[in-house]
Structure 1
């Protein structure tokens, strides 16, 4: 029988269970954390190997806070790689210095150095996460952020009896950075991951003699809140629990109109909170995650499993198997995403921009460029509006704040240079892909509509796009080419889902709207690490406003140098 590590909910939330709510103060407070980046040997799967970890943990430590708290996280880098940490989904108002993407808002923390991220949580509550934001190091450097509502404020859904975090990830048996370098030398994608994981463990269905499984113990008749995070580098994932329905109540730290589903779809970078009622025959039930892929590409199709175990049931009982949607179940994916709606109440309104000041249309393309250093003579590339982003050697926010010339330009086009039938017959041309560090300048407090259009350059594929520094409203999605007249007429401007990461459908489009009220330089990129490394990224320069509280804050004294 599989070796099982059992966790009660008190072991998952030790501070809450054993010292009450002293850990989460009654009012906004300053909370400090120490993150020590180090290499640690982890034997969670078939192959024991040294990996980069935070505080020796994989996944890393969970940050608990309340809305209104200020977080001070001191990151000390003991690993051989330069490092930066991104606090995914925290808005960081005027404070891009704490956002974390390397060479965008900061230079990386060098080996032997430290940097303190100073962050205030304003107007947010729910589940977010943190991860490395340099190279592919977020394969093992990640953890959850749990933001509880202000003291005295409950959830807008039934209070759960207990809660737990489930972080979905990917695992490589070899050093992921070496795997990437080998792919780059060939000009090809790196080898796909060897397993998927739930809280760092693949479960007993993984073909390995040494089994490791994460388990959650529940009591009959109780309701539980699961905070689910997709930390995988390259895979959208289905998640389900055998015999149990999932009631979705929050996505990307924004409450939703509750709805019940047998499974959820969650893209890399996204979070989803679900309520689960322990209302089945007491037994052991598999929780399972595996990829969704409706494009003709090879992927790691291995299923990760954990166990929902009713109290009093021995480990010798075989778990009930989960029923997940088919690997290419596009109909389920579209239907599920179509059910997501903002809660949109007086207390939690959906303030959707109705008037748009700036309309942007970005095409997503893959291509093949010449490469004299690659063994194949070519390399795969990715682009927005036919521009492959080139990472600078100086942080873009520093260059913007100090008006340093020659680091970037602000001439990123509002639309593609050559319109074509974006999702028609497959095209192999690059359509003039150019390299450059080109950004788009946005006026402070202006409203922006951005349509992201997948294309059939090489192949269609789904793309989860993450915008730093902001939430946005997903006012529309569709399959095929975006039609400005017909599709805009069908936009949901009443209660669209509010997120920080949007899944652009395979061979389709997604339209988002946001108000540019956070000055600074804000990264936007595909959260498939493969595509990001190929250049599928850009950034917005949001100008300062006129008020004294509408400008980028001065940089901290310990900001890492380049």
Structure 2
């Protein structure tokens, strides 16, 4: 019989709530999600099942305030296992709730499980999505807002309204069909999506006459757009006809406020921009066009919505607003370098987010991670330093807790520097020095823009460059005000350097956000370990812990596997 998270263990629930109560002004938010495969939504013309939550695509907004505790009881009505991950939510001291294959047993079909996590020390724009079985290609994603507490000032006036805008490329095929084609070397990496959706809706003027996305505004008012790239493979450039945007936030970091006429958003990234409705009453195009593709040749991959002024009586007219040349990577790199951390504003705590910078930190580790594609045992695989991650049935975090990983993975077999070894599969787990600073250099050998994401931490994005990275290039880093974010782009033939402070114990996923790359092995795990069992340093496993793989209820002493 299915069970619902803490409801199965009321004593454990009270104990956990006792720990949670230490937070200031926090509340508990309880959500119940019924996840289904819905064939009636049809965002495009094809008969295609979509993963819906409570009948919605995209899924419902998680609207929280920093320090709140969110409990999401997920009922899996699919015909295969399911997990959700909370893109950019750092899960302070609690990787048990991360929702990826290395940390959680999946929710089996016909059962339910409750995630419980705290939105601690973050304010900003994020999203969630299903993390296993290629399911993100079928939907299941939705927005997350983390709002400020009243005692924390926001560095801009309160807007008239806020809009969540989830944009992403979309393919017409059933995700299970696409998943099965990942064994085909040509299709695995060379296929191109079919359409660009805005909040699950096709572009304005689509030939099927389907509803397009539209946002109603009033002349003279200011609006916040929280923009996320929830696609599987394509970066896009975002712009609004005849309107500028004021960039204010990205993935929980306030940025220096910069006026833009267009903004590149890469797979997995989120931004907040303020838009002033300062034009005459009319309707205006909202456009998201793909990077590194000819928009004329791939016109269906240009997402188009509408900014509708309340007194407008006509639809938008004229050509779509033009953006930068999609092949002009200099524009994109220069814009990326211009996005800086606002060093004077408050963050989730009263002190400014820029209380310290990274000019004088001591780096304790350097990883140089290089991606490529190769064939292993006759199948196409994505590799990092010539290792393709082998997903196993037993979560690494579970094995780490129960048997110190013995028999499930071998720590530090993964090469953290670029190597010329023959490509192979591996359960890639590397040590991250607890409370140490790590430098990660990401090298991109693809012909497209890659995105990398690290669960549990923020990246201090210190540098971008072309060609090979060498230690001398550290002289080009921005160490004064690098923006902090959870997902960073790496341009074709180039490198991106980031710093991270590993103060969050756990087993944390470091991956490509491009779905095919991730599915085919471009990932590893960072084990940040603190041997002190104090729950204030790392939360113990939840009372509703699921067991799977080499473990089952009878294989683990009761005093261990369900301790509060």
**What TM-score results when the alignment is normalised by the length of structure 2?**
0.86
| Equivalent residues in 2 for 1:500-515, closer than 5 Å | 500-515=486-501
Is the 8 Å Cα contact of residues 197 and 303 (structure 2) preserved in structure 1? yes
Higher alpha-carbon deviation: 463-472 or 324-333: 324-333
Match of 2:453 in 1: 466
The CA deviation string for residues 355-410 of structure 1, in whole angstroms up to 9 with x for no partner, is 11112211122223342xxxxxxx32211111111111101110111124221111
Deviation at 1:154, TM superposition (A): 3.6
Where in structure 2 are there 5+ consecutive unaligned residues?
A: 1-23, 345-350, 549-564
Tell me, yes or no, if the aligned pair for 2:93 and 2:504 is still in contact at 8 Å: yes
* Residues 343 and 350 in structure 1, CA contact (< 8 A), matched pair in contact too: no
Contact 1:286 1:319 in 2 (8 A): no
Tell me the CA shift for residue 471 of structure 1: 0.7
Aligned pairs for 1:513-528 within 5 A: 513-528=499-514
Alpha-carbon contact 2:181-2:188 (below 8 Å) kept: no
Matched, 1:355 2:356: no
Shift in Å, 1:293: 2.0
Runs of 4+ in structure 1 deviating by more than 3 angstroms, as ranges, are: 185-188, 298-301, 315-320, 350-353, 549-552
SS at match of 1:338: helix
Supply the distance in 2 between the matched residues of 1:390 and 1:157 (Cα, whole angstroms).
46
Residue number among 416, 434, 458 corresponding to 2:424 in the alignment? 434
Q: Distance in 1 between matches of 2:74 and 2:314?
A: 39
Alignment of 1:206-245 (within 5 A): 206=206, 208-245=207-244
Task: Identify the residue that residue 409 of structure 1 maps to in structure 2.
Answer: 410
What is the deviation of 1:175? 0.9
How far the C-alpha of 1:299 sits from its partner, in A, is 8.0
Q: Which whole-Å CA distance do the structure 2 matches of 1:337 and 1:301 have between them? A: 27
Mapped to 2, the partners of 1:318 and 1:299 lie a distance apart of: 21
Counterpart in the other structure of 1:381: 381
Match of 1:37 in 2: 35
Q: What is the Cα deviation at residue 552 of structure 1? A: 3.5
Tell me the residue number matched to 1:4: none
- Seen in structure 2, the aligned counterparts of structure 1 residues 299 and 219 have a Cα distance that, compared at 3 Å, is closer
Instruction: Give the 3 Å change call, closer, same or farther, for CA 316–130 of structure 1 in structure 2.
Output: closer
Offset at 1:215?
0.6
Give the Cα separation in 1 of the matches to 2:280 and 2:493: 42
1:210-359 correspondence runs (5 A): 210-293=209-292, 302-316=301-315, 318=317, 321-345=320-344, 347-349=352-354, 351-353=356-358, 354-359=361-366
Distance 1:361 1:299, change over 3 A: farther
1:447 to 437, 444, 453: 437
User: Cα–Cα, structure 1 residues 68 and 192, in superposed 2: closer, same or farther, change >3 Å?
Assistant: same
The answer to whether residue 375 in structure 2 is matched with residue 368 in structure 1 is yes
Give the equivalent residue in structure 1 for 2:136. Answer: 138
Residue 316 to residue 453, structure 1, CA distance change in 2 (3 Å) = closer
> Is contact 1:294-1:330 (8 Å) kept?
no
Q: What SS does the corresponding residue of 2:64 show, helix, strand or coil?
A: strand
CA distance 1:293–1:406, change in 2 (3 Å): farther
Alignment RMSD (CA, Å):
2.1
Q: How many Å apart are 1:153 and its aligned residue? A: 3.2
Distance 1:331 1:89 in 2: 27
Q: Distance in 2 between matches of 1:126 and 1:503?
A: 19
* 8 Å contact kept, 1:294–1:506: no
Q: Deviations over 1:205-252 (max 9, x none)?
A: 44x322321111111111111000110011111111011111110011
Q: Secondary structure at the match of 1:496?
A: coil
Distance 1:483 1:316 in 2: 53
- The Cα of 1:317 is off from its aligned counterpart by 5.3
1:462 Cα deviation (Å)?
A: 2.2
1:107 paired residue number: 105
Quote the Cα distance in structure 1 between the aligned partners of 2:224 and 2:86.
22
Normalised by the size of structure 1, how large is the TM-score?
A: 0.87
Distance 2:30 2:81 in 1: 23
| Residue 482 (structure 2) aligns with | 496
Could you list the runs of 5+ residues in structure 1 that have no partner in the other structure? 1-25, 372-378, 419-430
Flag the structure with higher helix content.
2
SS of 1:188's equivalent in the other structure is helix
Structure-2 separation of matches of 1:50 and 1:482: 44
